[in-house]
Amino acid sequence: MTDHVALLNMRFEGKHGVLEFEQTTAQPFEVDAELYLDLGPAGRSDDIELTIDYREVFRICREVVEGPSFRLIEAVAETIAGRILAELRAAPISEVVVRVRKPRVALPGSIDAAMVEIRRRPADS
């Protein structure tokens, strides 16, 4: 499937990380979500019920990042992907790609961000 909807560089504040201060002090996180599905029916009909509502994707990402703490950004990404596949059933999603970036990663040097990318299909969840 080559059609997809993407929300890129969503920014939220969350308390995720292995270090104690990361669990108590909010820091920025960036999220990309790409949802692969057939956009033909929505494109031909102009009917939002036949595609993905961006607001719902954004809501899920915000709830996960701003919600309870995780130690790993891998767990943040996995939770987002699982919820997207479980909750967004208006149009059949064949695959979801989630990227989570942590710009203020605690390392002893200069870095733009730490990032994980996961790909999940409905059968994986």
Active-site residue (options: 15, 83, 101, 102): 102
Q: Is 15 a catalytic residue?
A: no
Sign of CA dihedral 8, 45, 96, 63: positive
> How far is the CA of 89 from the CAs of 44, 112, 114, in angstroms?
19, 35, 31
**55 Cβ neighbours under 8 A, 6+ residues apart:** none
Measured distance CA(56)–CA(7) in Å, rounded = 11
Catalytic residues: 102
